[in-house]
Structures are given as C-alpha cells and as structure tokens.
C-alpha cells in the first residue's frame, strides 16, 4: 500500500481512534478520515470496565497485551493531561482445590510464554501490595496456594477461598480520557471526523471509495473497518463473511456506602461456577417470572473493582451468567434482575457484601456487546478486496488491546515489517480448515 494513502476509518470507537492516532500521529499520514454516525466512543467503548492485564493463556495474546501496555504506559506518562492508569492488578479467587491446581498449571504456562515471573505464597515471600497508581509493582503474578495466605493480603475474601492468583501487570485506566486524548492528537495531526455512516464501499478487486448515508462519496486507497459490534454488517459491504459472534455484557455500579470493598482492592474475579442460595419463596417467584435460568448452576467469572479514587465509594460489578450469541440491537436490553444477581454472586467471594441483600443499593446499569471471533483473538489485518483492513473482534479486551491493535493496523496499512504475533490475528486464519478444526479443543480463552 502506498506511502501516504488516503485512509477512511469506519468507526470512532477505541479501535478506530487508536488506528487514526497511530496513522496520523506516529506515521505522519495526515489523510485519515474517521466516519461514524455516533459521537466518538459512545457505542461500546464507554461501557467497558476499563481494565487491562497482560495475563492471557496464549503466547500471541500475551505478546499483544505486553506491547499494548508498553504503549499505554508510555502514553500515560507522556504528558500530565494524558490519562490516569492504576496498577492494582487482577485477583482470581477459587474455593476449589482442583481449580487452584489448574490455575497453577495455567499460570506456569503464561509465565513461560512471557507474562512475567510467578511467585508462590507461602514460600516465595514477601508478597508486596500494589501502590494505588504507577508502575513500581512487581510484574508477573503472585499465586496463593492456601486460603490463609490469600486472606492475609486480601482480608475481605471469603473463608471458603482456598487460594488465588494476583496478576500484577494489570489494573485500569480512564478509557474516555485515553480515547479523547488520542483523538485530539490525531486531529491536530490532520485526521478528520465525519458524522455519517458508511453504507456502501466502491471498487471490486480494490477499494475505491466509501459511500456515506448523507450522500457523500469519500475516495480512498484504504478502508479500515473498526465498527465494533457491526463488524459482520460492514464485512458484508465487501462480500466478506467474517466469523464473529456478539454477546450482551452488562455492568452495574453501586455505592458501597458501608465501605466493604477496600479502595486499593484489585479487580477481583470469583473463578468458580456457583448456585445462588435463593429462598424457596424467591425460587418460586423466579419460576413464575420464567426465570428458572437463575435458579440452577451459574457460570464462574463474577467480578468487581473499586471505581474512582480513595474518596469514592463506587464499585463496578459484572457477571455474564447468560451470555449467548445475539444479533446486536440498540439500545441494549437490560435484565432487571442483573444488579441483585450480581450482588448475590459477589457475596460468595466477599461475604461482607451480603449486608446489601436486604436493601439493594440504587444501581446504575449499562452494557454493550462483546464481538468475538471463535478463538477469542482479534481480527486485525487485510481481508477481502485490496485496501480493506479489519480492526475488530476485540471482545472483552478492546480497551487494553487498542494501542497495539492501532499500531498493528498502521503497520499493515503502511506495508511495514510486522511483529511475530501479527500472523495469529489475520482474519484469513479462519480460511484454514485445520485451524478451524483445532478450535474444537479450545480451552480457556482468558475471557471474563
Ligand atoms: C460491559 C463491558 C465491559 C468491558 N470491559 C472491558 C475491560 O475491562 N477492558 C477492556 O479492554 N475491554 C472491555 N470491554 C470491551 C471493550 O469495551 C470493547 O472491546 C471495545 O470498546 C470495542 O471497541 P471498538 O472500537 O471495536 O467498537 P465500538 O466502541 O463499538 O465502536 C465502533 C464504532 O463504529 C461505528 N460504526 C459501526 N458501523 C458503522 C458504519 N457502517 N459507518 C460508520 N461507523 C460505524 C459505531 O457507531 C461505533 O461508534 C468491555 C465491554 C463491555 C460491554
């Protein structure tokens, strides 16, 4: 692709903005037009929990996230008005000795694949807590192989817990400020934002122009498709069938006015499946509402993190107990029972939260879609006609991956040398029947 291509980016979510930033600011391509009918970052990218981690089950994902966090750290440190990042980590907790053993095996693999050293407690002491912000915390992870050692560090965790793992190159960031910061810099470098929708793409073997609902046609050499949950629709504009599914993921925020959750707590994930202890009356009521789905076994992955600084009381809680593929529709449908189910789920990990079950705190619920490929790895790279580049399927990790995804798209667009991980994310991997067949044995994909 040429040295100064005319680029149209479909979508002003975090992936489209990071792409525009890397092209315009890092590569000096001033001819970048982002097209979106919505205000920037308002479809999915402002619904996220804003967390990041380099702890993933496969080497390409670890390499991608390490690169992305390197870039995020450097951007956050580059100017005082950039965006804050914490480094409080992710804590995965279990009450199941077999799951703890599997956690240990998986952690040893991730450590070997580049996620950093693994320290075991008790044993490899001392364990050091995370400072509130900044990067002077150890890398890698701390594995607690007994519940008492875990509770010495995290006193709010249930007596039932038998261990857990605290991932250290992890935390959260202000994603809105991060996206806005990149967009402002991209615009300063010549990128423009057009409020419209791409409804057709001209050209047969090579893209020629993007046609907008408002009637304008934008001539271009390259089209980057970063339309979030609408990726399959945009693929169809160039007769490209992309293997993606979308799942609803909700999130709730509540004020922890009793101060149950310490403000320096990590993102905490209860790894075990669980069954909620509804009373008989409650179970009958749920059955009468047609909600038997909530009465039986529910999956693992219920999680929370403190939101805001030391003076805030807000906590975010999430649990996708019913994630099945759906067609994306807007506004997203919200389960009215979500806050109660999440709080009940979280109280398995943090019994102190049960104090809220008689009188639920007023919740704020929102959510969006995870858009994912069958292997839960992103789709990044050329596909379909020449000049068409995909930047999506970033599932539940689009904020943390966006810096490396934007950079990788820019490398593809400019025809530059690619990092080793690039091949793992090419959309055409799904054209290989052997690769698709190998997914039948897909283990943990790292998704929460
Ligand atoms: C509840 C929840 C929690 C999450 N937590 C985390 C987390 O902790 N960490 C993390 O890293 N990620 C998290 N994610 C995932 C993350 O939010 C997404 O992966 C990311 O925001 C996707 O960004 P995107 O740019 O691909 O899509 P979007 O943000 O959806 O942006 C796509 C844009 O494309 C536009 N568009 C679509 N079609 C067209 C068209 N034809 N023409 C023009 N524009 C078009 C849309 O209007 C939209 O603005 C979470 C997601 C959810 C829902």
Q: What is the pLDDT of residues 294-309, one digit of tens each?
A: 999 999 999 999 999 8
Q: Which two tokens stand for residue 73?
A: 């750290």
User: Taking phi first (over 0 means left), then psi (-120 to 50 degrees means alpha), and beta for anything else, what does residue 434 get?
Assistant: alpha
At 385 the pLDDT is: 98
Closest approach atom of ligand 1 to CA 250: 1
Whole-number Å distance between alpha carbons of 158 and 147: 9
Probe residue for ligand 1, chosen from 13, 15, 330, 342 as the CB with the greatest number of ligand atoms within 8 Å: 13
Query: Is the CB of 400 within 6 Å of ligand 1?
Result: yes
At 340 the pLDDT is: 96
Whole-number Å distance between alpha carbons of 152 and 160: 14
The C-alpha torsion from 393 through 397 and 398 to 403, rounded to 10°, is -120
Task: Write the burial class of residue 405 (CB in 10 Å: 0-12 exposed, 13-18 middle, 19+ buried).
Answer: buried
Whole-number Å distance between alpha carbons of 278 and 261: 24
The C-alpha torsion from 7 through 10 and 12 to 15, rounded to 10°, is -80
Query: Is the CB of 201 within 6 Å of ligand 1?
Result: no
Q: Ligand 1 centroid vs 108 CA: distance in angstroms?
A: 32
H helices of 119-174, in order, are 147-153
Strands 198-202 and 192-194: unpaired
Q: Which residues contact 431 (CB under 8 A, 6 or more apart)?
A: none
At 1 the pLDDT is: 46
Greatest alpha-carbon pair distance for the chain in Å reads 68
Q: Ligand 1 centroid vs 363 CA: distance in angstroms?
A: 23
The C-alpha torsion from 325 through 329 and 331 to 335, rounded to 10°, is -30
Atom 38 in ligand 1: residue holding the nearest Cα: 227
Q: pLDDT below 50 — which residues of the chain?
A: 1-2
Residue keyed to tokens 């240990």: 104
User: Could you tell me the domains of the chain?
Assistant: 7-50+174-244+373-441 (3.50.50.60), 90-169+245-372 (3.30.9.10)
- Look at residue 437 and give its three-state secondary structure: helix
Nearest one of 56, 49, 155, 17 to 424, comparing CA atoms: 56
Sign, CA dihedral 80-84-88-91, equals: negative
Q: Which residues contact 215 (CB under 8 A, 6 or more apart)?
A: none
φ/ψ (deg, to 5) at 300 = -70, 180
At 323 the pLDDT is: 77
Q: Ligand 1 centroid vs 195 CA: distance in angstroms?
A: 17
φ/ψ (deg, to 5) at 165 = -135, 130
Q: How far is CA 8 from CA 23, 51, 53, 214, 352, in A?
A: 11, 29, 30, 16, 51
């Amino acid at each position: 692709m040429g040295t100064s291509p005319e680029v149209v980016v479909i979508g002003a979510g975090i992936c489209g903005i990071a792409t525009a930033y890397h092209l315009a600011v890092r590569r000096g391509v001033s001819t970048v037009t982002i097209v979106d009918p919505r205000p920037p970052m308002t479809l999915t990218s402002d619904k996220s929990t804003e967390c990041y981690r380099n702890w993933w089950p496969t080497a390409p994902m670890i390499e991608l996230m390490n690169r992305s966090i390197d870039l995020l750290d450097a951007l956050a440190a580059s100017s005082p008005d950039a965006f804050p990042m914490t480094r409080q980590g992710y804590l995965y907790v279990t009450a199941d000795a077999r799951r703890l053993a599997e956690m240990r095996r998986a952690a040893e693999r991730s450590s070997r694949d580049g996620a950093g050293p693994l320290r075991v407690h008790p044993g490899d002491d001392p364990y050091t807590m995370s400072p509130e912000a900044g990067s002077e915390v150890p890398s890698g992870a701390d594995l607690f192989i007994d519940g008492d050692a875990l509770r010495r560090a995290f006193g709010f965790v249930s007596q039932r817990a038998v261990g857990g793992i605290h991932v250290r190159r992890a935390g959260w960031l202000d994603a809105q400020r991060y996206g806005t910061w990149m967009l402002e810099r991209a615009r300063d470098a010549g990128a423009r934002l057009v409020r419209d929708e791409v409804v057709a793409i001209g050209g047969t073997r090579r893209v020629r122009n993007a046609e907008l609902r408002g009637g304008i046609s934008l001539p271009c050499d390259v089209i980057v498709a970063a339309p979030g949950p609408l990726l399959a629709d945009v693929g169809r504009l160039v007769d490209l069938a992309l293997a993606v599914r979308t799942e609803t993921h909700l999130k709730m925020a509540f004020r922890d006015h009793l101060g149950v959750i310490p403000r320096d707590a990590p993102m905490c994930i209860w790894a075990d499946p669980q069954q909620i202890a509804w009373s008989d009356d409650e179970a009958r009521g749920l059955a009468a509402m047609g909600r038997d789905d909530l009465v039986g076994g529910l999956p693992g992955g219920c999680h929370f993190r403190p939101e805001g600084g030391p003076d805030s009381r807000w906590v975010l809680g999430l649990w996708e107990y019913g994630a099945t593929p759906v067609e994306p529709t807007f506004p997203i449908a919200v389960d009215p029972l979500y806050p109660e189910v999440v709080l009940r789920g979280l109280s398995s990990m943090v019994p102190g939260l049960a104090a809220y079950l008689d009188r639920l705190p007023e919740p704020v619920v929102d959510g969006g879609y995870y858009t994912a490929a069958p292997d839960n790895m992103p789709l990044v790279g050329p596909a379909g006609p020449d000049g068409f580049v995909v930047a999506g399927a970033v599932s539940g990790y689009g904020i943390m991956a966006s810096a490396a995804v934007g950079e990788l798209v820019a490398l593809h667009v400019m025809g530059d040398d690619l990092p080793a991980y690039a091949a793992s994310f090419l959309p055409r991997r799904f054209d290989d029947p052997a690769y698709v067949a190998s997914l039948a044995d897909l283990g943990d994909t790292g998704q929460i």
